[in-house]
Structure 1
Amino acid sequence: MEGELRTVIDMSNAGIVILDGDYNIRFTNKSASELTGYQVEDLLGMNFMDIFSAENKKVIKDMLAEHRMGENIRSCSELEILTAQGNRKETEICITTTGDSNGTGKIYAYLRDISQRKMSEERLKMTEEKYSLLFERVQQGLFISSREGKFIDCNQAMLDMLGYKDKEEFLSLDIARDVYVNPEDRRIFQDLVERDGFVKEYEVELKRKDGKRVTILLTGNIKRNGDGEIAGYEGINTDITERKNIEHELRKANDFFRNLIDSSVDGIIAADIKGNIIIFNKGTEKLLGYKAGEVIGKLHITGLYPPGVAKDIMRKLRSQEFGGVGRLETTQSTLVDKDGEHIPINISAAIVYEDGKEIATVGIFTDLREKLKMERELQDAQLQLLQSEKMSSLGKLAAGVAHEINNPLGGILIYSNLLIEEMEDSDPKREDLKRIADEATRCKEIVKSLLEFARQTGPKMEPIDINRSINEGLFFLENQAAFLNIEIIKKLDLTLPLIEGNSSQLKQVFMNIMVNAAEAMEGRGALTVTTALQPENNSVLIEFSDTGRGIPPEYISRIFDPFFTTKEVGKGTGLGLSLSYGVIEQHKGKIDVRSKVGKGTCFVIELPAKHENSAN
């Protein structure tokens, strides 16, 4: 039985020693030997006090002194022992005494190694201290809350974020009612976190104590109790109010600049370094006919220019000659619209840099079509004024010359005809005199034309149907030999209004132009006569287009000058078009000519329309 008891004692994890009244060890087990580092035989006979460090000997002595022989007392303490190797070891020591009626008894000491537990406790304490330090020092607001809607704990950053100084006051708040701007957001958070186990960066607005709002990103997870049930939530609140304000201001600034760009009447285009279009404002939409969505990120910038032009612009942008490197001062260029039409524009451009690197190019484009049109109209008006002044001067000159020549011509005609009548038909001089009379007659016709050209009084005006005047002129001409092989194409607007004019003079102008056309086509080709109303300036447009040989460019500016003609000598006076110019001018109209050598000529006449009923 004693052997079995010894075996059980040796199996104990606790070191067991039995002391006598002088605290000498009378019995020990293997666990005590392993704990102290002494062999069992070395422990037997040792004084129990010798295994303790000097600072702990008094403590253990006091403990032993409290246990009087004969009383059943048990006490425990945690003390360091000194092992046989001189190492210190944390040990839990429990002492009990037993006594009998004879007053004899024994002291039992139980020793258990608690080094690992003490180390774990120390680590836990350090971890808790670190957690507590982190909990308080972290910049984000940390919280633990219950499902019922109360805060269980929070850090200082959470208090500062929401403007509270008293933590107890904060922990007493109803979260949904007192903290959330929209209480429904608290329920949404609960649904999300309980469904998924966590929530990441849930954006929500909270109320500060002073009533101001803060925007936070809430990241949290559920907390469970010992039974695995959801007990509450813990989370981190990151204040993004300042970031949201900055984002709002950036959006406002972007909206302002976007509106500024879109409000520009000029076209504004920006492209990244690869040439992909990234800005295409409304001014450019109107200029080129594209919608921004059709080109942004879809069309390369070179697609908006004629071949080679975009490359030339980039060359100038990187040159010093055109405004400095990275800048292009206003210069004229060309864009291509959605329909392929070339649009004259002024462009000023710049390279956009970021940290010294090119990131984009931006250009501002001004539509020059209206400006160039106005310049042409001004030039035409100046030319017309010059032509009018020239015609006026030439008219006065022609009138004086005509009057001076008319009387001598009359004498030549009278006396030459008298001499012809007196001569025999066989007289060889008769033919010479007849030639003199014919040339004098031709000169008289020229003088007559000069006098008509120089006439200062205006023609009698009345309502005229332009289509009728054209048809009457064609009726007179189309059976003449020069028109027999010419195709006459009429494109007459039958809704034309009447004009105020002199029918005879205008008919003569139309016939003169059509005869010139027939001669230019040398009796074979097509003559197209077109009439139309121009509502924008309430005028009637008349065009005579032929397929003749055309007029060389150097002659165009002189075509309406008196005595200028491209016909052979003796086949024209050179007064027909100048007289036509004068007639149209007297009718407050305009006459112009377009021509291309080898393709044909088009005379364009504009006459002001009456404000009354249209012609039938």
Structure 2
Amino acid sequence: MPTVPMEGVDESTWLDVIQKMDEVYTRLIDDEVELEKKNTELEQSQQFIFSVLTSMSDVLVVCDEGGLIEQANAALCELVGRSEAQLRGTRLYELLADDASVDAARAAMEKADAPRAGEAIELNLLDQQGQAISVDANCTPRIGGNGRRVGTVWVGRPTAELKRAYHEMRAAHEALKRTQQQLLHSEKMASLSQLVAGVAHELNNPISFVLGNVHALRKYCDRLQTYMAALHAHEPEPVLQALRQKLRIEHLLGDLPSLIEGTLEGAQRTADIVHGLKRFSAMDPEERTPVNLVEVIDRAIHWVQKGRPTPVDVRWQAGERCTVMGSAGQLQQVMMNLLQNAFDAVGGPGVASPCVWVAMAYEGAQVHVSVRDNGPGIPPEHLLRIFDPFFTTKPVGKGTGLGLSISYGIVEQHGGRLSARNSDSGGAEFILELPKAQ
């Protein structure tokens, strides 16, 4: 049938309609493409978030305002032995092992002024075997679009393994400290054994002096008893006078004070020697006390000299008191070791006039003590290894190779420094640097 043209509608109108339809269709296509793009980006974003949650080693729980679990990551599911579907909708409190953890979690989730940065809480979770697992958790409020709190995010890290490793490390550290202290004491005993001959000679003089005085006092005591017996028997005065002359009572009474004073002096000298040996050989306490470094050097020179079969010329001028903070026994061990090495260096062949110089100088808040000898010096190839444990150039049986290594560690613990070099005037020189006590 022939079409009847519509009144007022011409061909241009139809062209406009078709053009508008094309524009709408094109816009629909573009919107569909954009929607597909957005859906793809959303899916990728969800996959990214899921992969992050899955790869987290820390446990993560998202709860609503009432403490119902809305989401949990794989680490939590593996820890408690449940799937996310099983956890979703259950209360967080059901995962906690004790009432204290429940109370702490409830207080954190109900806190009105919870910090946005989160709050650290230690909780105990029940694992899949029903055992309590310590977790260091962080409770962070979850804020909705209206700015109000809509829930809580929990992120926690199990600390049981970390605590076990920490306790093992601490036990190993304590064992290492004990071993180090025993090694230090053993080296001190080795140094002390080298001084036995000198110590015996040192003790022999006052002991012999005391024994001689005691024998004299015993004879005087017998004379006094004889004279007192005569007095108690009421002997005549001429008899008593003759007995006084025979027994030399006046001389005896005049000699008694000096004998007693000499005996006390010898006994005190013996006590001082024994006290010095006990102080050197005793296990050193860890606390630091004020120590007069001049006295330490004096004692070290005295003891090392006494242990030598032939004395060595030591040039040392003791000055004013110099106080450092530390252990007197340990610092004396360092000085004795440095002096013993210097004496050994000048005791070999080729040293005509053995001599050791000990000097003290100040540089700001530091005190420098140098021990120098006129021996052959330290070979250059040994300078870099001189403080290594068990390194020694002495023959077998003459040294352990631990003296300088232990001395180096002692000086470091005292906040100082121990170094070695060859002196410009010949021989080896060791420099001990320590901070002065304030």
Q: What TM-score bracket applies, with the shorter chain setting the length?
A: 0.3 to 0.5
**Which structure has the highest strand share of the two?**
1
Structure number with greater Rg is: 1
Structure (1 or 2) with the greater helix fraction:
2
TM-score, normalization by structure 2:
0.41
TM-score by length of 1: 0.30
